[in-house]
């Protein structure tokens, strides 16, 4: 049942009306158990949700809402391999990519899913042997991933996040944009004989990736390169198109893996080359541990459920429209862009599963930068601006560098910002007044290991699933990207011809200005 049609939604509406006097400072002062109640361990992460604008009564209603909206039933359908991506009639099984090949859990899967699991492990084994081969190939010094969206953001984010585990002597480059400046800058530093190009595209039709791949191949040949099968590999569900492109080394995946959920598939090859087969398996194991937590923990202690329902509370009842991601670890520099696609492409929808217009908001705007940099840029607005923006701090206890003082300073700043946002500071003069009572969630990892990163990403995938399920939308399609693609083709043709007939006056004038011939 769509969230807004439940009784719990109605009682949350009533709660939200009575909520405007809520103050975090009073909530902590009047309840000594608040921090403990709203904190929990989950695989790979500890989360403190206590500095958020809610209380135990609201949380209980949110859990009731999850139940009445059938979130957990929807979850179970995903984990059974049902075609819950209804508009494309596909199963949603990225979780299967990190599922162990054998054991009681594997035996309990439906027979059709077991067939897929077998293929998953065959491909995984092939891909990891290939990754090991490349790792020990000293002639290959540079790996260039050409892909965009889910075929870029995930591997790029993870290679950067796990750089302390990465093999020395191999350099990773990520080219996504059709803007030739990006590919050109990368190619300038490369030699054809020491470069491996990975063409990453689920569909193998994406304009940016195909354009970059073609230019990379032309460059490779112009540099005297001949052995395309050694220097190019494809990561795709469209093995046939990769073959036509002239690539023989191909690692496949399946249409039941969404692009933004594909890091666990062959799309993860750059990460596998960087950290090696064993560590890649640990990465998968972390995500699988989170899958099990999501499947088995009761709703009130289920971290993806709690986070996803908090997201619903904020979006639909307190009307907060954005969430700031603040990772206090410079290796998580690409985490916010990664989450932007995960959440905004999944839940940026305006109709329900029946195609009916929704009367409430869906995906918030996600944005952010690592701390402490953000503190010297946009935190001013978070502390004293007129909008309330919930933050999500992500901190890592242990550093991998040996520089004295830095880590304690970094973590002190993370704690202090969360504290300052909440406690504020009264100043009668106005300009120095901090209102306080600003909400945040604090996620803490012991170390930034492959296991913990895998768990952290799967946590985010599942919280997006939870809010999407309450909103009654299909979190697994992305029709909203299509119109721009079609119009770009039309405009591209007009760029050559100069024909502006039928265009609006603004587009016509801009086209005439940007035309070079
Ligand atoms: O245009 C959006 C999108 O389809 C994303 O969903 C996807 O991750 C990206 O493009 C890249 O697609 P592909 O992997 O098929 O090249």
Query: Is residue 62 situated within a structural domain?
Result: yes
Burial of 348 (0-12, 13-18, 19+ CB in 10 A): middle
For tokens 């594909």, the residue is 262
Domain check: are 174 and 272 in the same one? yes
114 vs 125: CA distance, rounded Å: 17
Average per-residue pLDDT for the chain: 97
Catalytic status, residue 193: no
The Å distance, Cα 159 to ligand 1 centre, comes to: 19
302 vs 491: CA distance, rounded Å: 48
- Choose one of 204, 206, 251, 266 to mutate for the ligand 1 pocket test, by most ligand atoms within 8 angstroms of C-beta: 206
Which distant-in-sequence residues (6+ apart) come within 8 Å of 46 by Cβ? 39, 40, 443, 444, 445
The Å distance, Cα 245 to ligand 1 centre, comes to: 18
* CA-206 nearest atom, ligand 1: 16
Q: Check: CB of residue 113 under 8 Å from CB of residue 93.
A: yes
* Predicted local confidence at residue 365, as pLDDT: 98
CA distances from 103 to 80, 99, 403 (A): 16, 10, 44
For tokens 């035996």, the residue is 107
The helix/strand/coil state of 272 is: helix
Name the phi and psi angles at 288, rounded to 5.
-65, -40
362 vs 99: CA distance, rounded Å: 30
* CA-482 nearest atom, ligand 1: 1
Domain check: are 29 and 136 in the same one? no
- Per DSSP, helices labelled H in 69-148 are 71-78, 104-107, 111-136
- Of 278, 311, 339, which one is at a domain's C-terminal end? 278
Active-site pick, 282, 343, 345, 369: 345
Which protein residue has the closest C-alpha to ligand 1 atom 16?
Answer: 201
* Predicted local confidence at residue 517, as pLDDT: 62
Query: Is residue 156 situated within a structural domain?
Result: yes
Count of domains observed in the chain: 3
342 vs 347: CA distance, rounded Å: 8
* Predicted local confidence at residue 20, as pLDDT: 81
* CA-147 nearest atom, ligand 1: 16
Q: Check: CB of residue 45 under 8 Å from CB of residue 443.
A: yes
Domain check: are 244 and 319 in the same one? no
Q: Check: CB of residue 309 under 8 Å from CB of residue 66.
A: yes
Q: Using alpha carbons, select from 21, 104, 78 the residue that is nearest to residue 55.
A: 21
Q: Check: CB of residue 200 under 8 Å from CB of residue 147.
A: yes
| Residues spanned by the domain of 453 | 3-68+297-367+448-477
Instruction: Report residue 200 CA to chain centroid gap.
Output: 17
- Report the run of H or E that residue 502 belongs to, with start and end: none
Q: Using alpha carbons, select from 325, 315, 290 the residue that is nearest to residue 304.
A: 290
* Predicted local confidence at residue 98, as pLDDT: 98
Count of H-run helices and E-run strands, the chain: 22, 11
Domain check: are 256 and 192 in the same one? yes
* Predicted local confidence at residue 265, as pLDDT: 98
The Å distance, Cα 65 to ligand 1 centre, comes to: 33
Query: Is residue 84 situated within a structural domain?
Result: no
Domain check: are 210 and 138 in the same one? yes
Domain check: are 156 and 268 in the same one? yes
Q: Check: CB of residue 291 under 8 Å from CB of residue 96.
A: no
Domain check: are 109 and 193 in the same one? yes
Domain check: are 54 and 98 in the same one? no
- Render the burial of 1-25: b for 16+ CB within 10 Å, e for the rest: ebbbebebbeebeebbeebeebebe
The Å distance, Cα 176 to ligand 1 centre, comes to: 11
Residue 202 falls in which region: left (phi positive, over 0), alpha (psi -120 to 50) or beta: alpha
Return the CATH number at 317. 3.40.50.10490
Catalytic status, residue 221: no
The Å distance, Cα 199 to ligand 1 centre, comes to: 13
Query: Is residue 470 situated within a structural domain?
Result: yes
- Choose one of 85, 151, 235 to mutate for the ligand 1 pocket test, by most ligand atoms within 8 angstroms of C-beta: 151
Helix axes 450-471, 71-78, angle to 10 degrees: 130
Active-site pick, 168, 181, 188, 376: 376
Report residues of the chain scoring pLDDT below 70: 517
Active-site pick, 118, 191, 485, 489: 485
The Å distance, Cα 202 to ligand 1 centre, comes to: 7
| Residue list, ligand 1 pocket, CB within 6 Å | 148-151, 201-203, 206, 209, 259-260, 345, 478, 481
Domain check: are 33 and 124 in the same one? no
Domain check: are 129 and 273 in the same one? yes
Query: Is residue 409 situated within a structural domain?
Result: no
Domain check: are 205 and 264 in the same one? yes
Name the phi and psi angles at 94, rounded to 5.
-60, -30
Specify the DSSP class assigned to residue 437: -
Query: Is residue 417 situated within a structural domain?
Result: no
Which distant-in-sequence residues (6+ apart) come within 8 Å of 336 by Cβ? 325, 327, 366, 367, 368, 369
Q: Using alpha carbons, select from 116, 145, 150 the residue that is nearest to residue 253.
A: 116
Query: Is residue 315 situated within a structural domain?
Result: yes
- Choose one of 150, 252, 477 to mutate for the ligand 1 pocket test, by most ligand atoms within 8 angstroms of C-beta: 150
Catalytic status, residue 462: no
Domain check: are 471 and 497 in the same one? no
Which protein residue has the closest C-alpha to ligand 1 atom 8?
Answer: 150
The Å distance, Cα 259 to ligand 1 centre, comes to: 6
Specify the DSSP class assigned to residue 438: -
- Choose one of 207, 478, 485 to mutate for the ligand 1 pocket test, by most ligand atoms within 8 angstroms of C-beta: 478
Query: Is residue 420 situated within a structural domain?
Result: no
Helix axes 180-188, 207-222, angle to 10 degrees: 30
């Amino acid at each position: 049942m769509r969230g807004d049609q439940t009784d719990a939604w109605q009682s949350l509406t009533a709660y939200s009306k009575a909520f405007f006097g809520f103050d975090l400072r009073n909530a902590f002062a009047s309840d000594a158990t608040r921090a403990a109640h709203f904190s929990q361990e989950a695989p790979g992460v500890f989360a403190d949700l206590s500095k958020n604008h809610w209380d135990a009564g609201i949380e209980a209603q949110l859990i009731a809402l999850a139940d009445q909206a059938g979130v957990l039933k929807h979850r179970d359908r995903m984990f059974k391999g049902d075609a819950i991506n209804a508009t494309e009639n596909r199963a949603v099984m990225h979780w299967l990519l990190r599922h162990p090949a054998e054991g009681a859990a594997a035996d309990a899967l439906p027979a059709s899913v077991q067939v897929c699991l077998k293929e998953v492990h065959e491909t995984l084994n092939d891909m990891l042997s290939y990754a090991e081969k490349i790792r020990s190939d000293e002639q290959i010094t540079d790996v260039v991933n050409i892909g965009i969206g889910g075929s870029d953001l995930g591997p790029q984010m993870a290679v950067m996040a796990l750089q302390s585990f990465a093999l020395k002597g191999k350099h990773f480059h990520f080219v996504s944009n059709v803007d030739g400046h990006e590919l050109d800058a990368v190619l300038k530093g490369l030699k054809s004989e020491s470069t491996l190009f990975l063409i990453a595209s689920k569909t193998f039709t994406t304009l940016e990736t195909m354009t970059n791949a073609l230019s990379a191949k032309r460059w490779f040949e112009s540099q005297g390169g001949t052995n395309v099968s050694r220097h190019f590999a494809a990561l795709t569900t469209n093995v046939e198109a990769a073959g036509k492109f002239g690539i023989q080394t191909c690692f496949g995946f399946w249409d039941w893996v969404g692009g933004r959920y594909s890091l666990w598939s062959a799309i993860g090859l750059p990460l596998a080359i960087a950290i090696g087969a064993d560590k890649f398996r640990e990465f998968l194991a972390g995500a699988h541990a989170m899958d099990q937590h999501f499947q088995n923990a009761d709703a009130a202690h289920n971290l993806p459920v709690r986070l996803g329902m908090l997201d619903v509370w904020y979006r639909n009842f307190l009307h907060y429209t954005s969430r700031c991601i603040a990772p206090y670890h410079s290796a998580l520099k690409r985490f916010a862009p990664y989450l932007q696609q995960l959440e905004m492409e999944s839940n940026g929808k305006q109709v329900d599963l029946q195609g009916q217009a929704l009367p409430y908001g869906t995906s918030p705007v996600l944005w952010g930068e690592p701390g402490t940099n953000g503190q010297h840029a946009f935190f001013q607005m978070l502390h004293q601006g007129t909008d309330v923006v919930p933050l999500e701090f992500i901190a890592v206890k242990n550093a991998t560098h040996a520089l004295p003082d830095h880590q304690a300073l970094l973590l002190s700043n993370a704690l202090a910002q969360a504290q300052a946002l909440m406690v504020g500071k009264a100043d009668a003069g106005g300009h120095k007044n901090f209102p306080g009572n600003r909400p945040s969630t604090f996620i803490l990892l012991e170390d930034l290991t492959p296991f913990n990163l895998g768990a952290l990403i799967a946590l985010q995938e599942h919280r997006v699933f939870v809010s999407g399920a309450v909103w009654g939308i299909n979190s697994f399609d992305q029709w909203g990207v299509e119109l721009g693609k079609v119009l770009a083709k039309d405009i591209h043709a007009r760029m050559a011809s100069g024909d502006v007939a039928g265009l609006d006056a603004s587009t016509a004038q801009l086209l005439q200005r940007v035309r070079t011939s």
